[in-house]
Amino acid sequence: AASAWAKIPQGPPVRITEAFKADSFDKKINLGVGAYRDDKGKPYVLPSVRAAEEKVIASRLNKEYAGITGVPEFTKAAAVLAYGADSSALDRLAITQSISGTGALRIGGAFLARHYPGAKTIYIPQPSWANHAAVFKDCGLEVEKYAYYNKDTIGLDYEGMVADINSAPDGSIFLFHACAHNPTGVDPTPEQWKEIEAAVKAKGHHAFFDMAYQGFASGNIHTDAFAVRHFVAEGHNITLSQSFAKNMGLYGERIGAFSVVCADAEERKRVDSQVKILVRPMYSNPPIHGARIAAEILNTPALYDQWLIEVKGMADRIITMRALLKDNLEKLGSKHDWSHITSQIGMFAYTGLTPEQMDQLAKEHSVYATRDGRISVAGITSENVSRLAEAIFKVKG
Ligand code: PLP
């Protein structure tokens, strides 16, 4: 009998890592990875995470299931981290642990698809994290784009963005990157966020924030939560996706949260019951180990303070590498304006290089990144930055 899968078409290759792996040059550079690397180019486990994990293991807890919405000590603390300890949202917040940020987006998309009273269209920035459109489509939402990035300035297309907010049908759903926009590294300023908030409010839109980089962008957890907290303070009952992949380096532990700000505690109760109804048939309940680690950090003052320093350390290394790359390019005599490299924020930099130039970087210089010109600044080290600058200079001038 023929295989049931005989007619399944071949999907496209997923990552560029293959080409990097196949390259035998010992000074090859991988700027495609979406994970932090230390200045030696190695994966980094935060010392606060190691300490928290040791405490968790030493306490010899059992391995019973968590509830559907996860480990309460974790979700409570995650809410405080995102919204702020004095936020009015905390008493009216439905929150669930999630399979990292992706899982939070997936629960959020499913929640909006099922319960949002308006049109089931979600507007995401152009460009956005590649998985956004896929996740939301699989949730049954229609995906549209709003203007975000201006190729000519390698900066924010602020006018275009506000125009698209204004021209979308009243009550639309808008997905915003809370900070460290992926892939461009371009964020609105606080002043621009205030006007974006006003435009969103005037149109009665719903704001869904994806906060995958809190603390990792500026080095300050409050600065990075500005947009989220501002919208809440202005009365928006937002939805929010959080990830602890980057800011705690807990990538593979898959730890995140999805939350819905409600009108009051009574509404919260009803929303919470519906979030549980969504989660239960997806995976019953989330894994506990990463949640316990994150909870230990967030709820132990000494570990929390240590973690804040370590997140800032990661953010600062990235900021330093941006400056070094720009300096090196200028020292080589590049006549281009590279100020976007340092004005952008977060793990990724949009270089403005064309797909052809990116191909050339890979073929001639063993520098690997995506063809959209995005480089992961986390892959830059004090050792490889000068060779990287030379390669970019040779390709772009
Ligand atoms: N959202 C954005 C904008 C991201 O860049 C990422 C990771 O790259 C995620 C969400 C989700 O990541 P994770 O599922 O590992 O938390």
Q: Residues with Cβ within 6 A of ligand 1?
A: 34, 100-102, 129, 177, 182, 210, 212, 243, 245, 251, 256
Nearest CA to ligand 1 atom 4: 212
Task: Please state, in angstroms and rounded to a whole number, the distance separating the CA atoms of residues 271 and 261.
Answer: 9
Q: Report ipTM for this prediction.
A: 0.99
Q: Is 379 exposed, middle or buried (0-12, 13-18, 19+ CB in 10 A)?
A: buried
- Examine the pLDDT at 45 and tell me if it is beyond 90: yes
Catalytic pick among 224, 246, 307, 326: 246
Q: Is 336 exposed, middle or buried (0-12, 13-18, 19+ CB in 10 A)?
A: middle
Tokens (6 digits) for 79: 């809410």
* pLDDT band per the 50, 70, 90 thresholds, residue 317: very high
Catalytic pick among 157, 164, 187, 210: 210
Nearest CA to ligand 1 atom 2: 212
Structural domain boundaries of the chain? 17-45+304-396, 65-299
Mean pLDDT of the residues in the chain: 96
As a whole number of Å, the end-to-end CA separation of the chain is 60
- Of 141, 200, 143, which is closest to residue 167 (Cα–Cα)? 200
- Examine the pLDDT at 89 and tell me if it is beyond 70: yes
CA 256 to centroid of ligand 1, rounded, Å: 10
Q: Is residue 5 annotated as a catalytic residue, yes or no?
A: no
Do the two domains 17-45+304-396 and 65-299 of this chain adopt the same fold?
no
Query: Roughly what angle, to the nearest 10 degrees, separates helices 301-331 and 289-299?
Result: 100
- Examine the pLDDT at 162 and tell me if it is beyond 80: yes
- Examine the pLDDT at 157 and tell me if it is beyond 70: yes
Residues 197-245 have pLDDT tens digits of: 999 999 999 999 999 999 999 999 999 999 999 999 999 999 999 999 9
CA 385 to centroid of ligand 1, rounded, Å: 26
Q: Which fold has domain 65-299?
A: Aspartate Aminotransferase; domain 2 (3.40.640)
CA 243 to centroid of ligand 1, rounded, Å: 7
Check residues 208 and 20 and name the one with the higher pLDDT. 208
Q: Which atom of ligand 1 is nearest to the CA of 256?
A: 16
Percent of the chain's residues with pLDDT above 90:
94
* pLDDT band per the 50, 70, 90 thresholds, residue 93: very high
The CATH class for the domain spanning 17-45+304-396 reads alpha beta
Which residues are paired to 158 by β-bridges?
none
Q: 3-state class of 202 per DSSP?
A: helix
- Examine the pLDDT at 43 and tell me if it is beyond 90: yes
Q: Is residue 129 annotated as a catalytic residue, yes or no?
A: yes
CA 366 to centroid of ligand 1, rounded, Å: 26
Question: What would the mean pLDDT of 363-374 be, rounded to a whole number?
Answer: 94
| pLDDT at res. 177 | 98
